[in-house]
Amino acid sequence: MSERLGGGWAAVVVWIAIQLTLTSLPGAAIPVSIGHPVDWIGHGGLYGGLGVLIARVAWMRGWPSKRLVIAALIISLGGALDEAHQYFIPGRDMEFGDWVSDTLGAIAGLAVGAWLMRSRFQKWLR
């Protein structure tokens, strides 16, 4: 594995690829339609998982804590762009509430990930 994808980045790239695949599916390809607020749990979970993986990279790379704030802003921007791209996918739509859920999920994921990496569980997460 190249150094560029080392240090935890490979998992982040795979997670983002999965997210983009799921959010690019046309509405007709999604077998179950769940409404809000249940849908928001899914959004928060996807972006929360990304936040955990980014926090893992931050710990492995020795980032200062303020970089996690920057990471939260970048993930939030990514969520906004993802919502915007869904506007162009048949049967999907762009929703402000989904973006808020993405952002809150990312913040929660970063916080949980940072906590996990400082806990006794970090030895299994490296």
What is the domain partition of the chain in residue ranges? 9-125
Per-residue confidence (pLDDT) for residue 38, from 0 to 100: 81
Residue ranges in 1-126 assigned as alpha helix (H): 9-23, 38-61, 66-86, 96-118, 122-125
pLDDT < 70 stretches in the chain: 1-5, 31-33, 36, 123-126
- Please enumerate in sequence order all residues whose Cβ is within 8 A of that of 19, keeping only pairs 6 or more positions apart, or say none: 46, 50, 82
Which residue reads 């799921």 in tokens?
22
Single-letter code of the amino acid located at 60: M
Helix, strand, or coil (residue 44):
helix
CA angle 15, 21, 81 (to 5 degrees): 85
Per-residue pLDDT tens for 74-102? 999 999 999 999 999 998 889 999 999 99
Q: Rounded to an integer, what distance in angstroms lies between the CA atom of residue 91 and that of residue 58?
A: 37
Buried b / exposed e along 61-72 (16+ C-beta atoms within 10 A): eeeeeeebeebb
Specify the pTM.
Answer: 0.87
The Cα-based distances of 88 to 27, 29, 32, 65, 103 in angstroms read 11, 15, 20, 36, 21
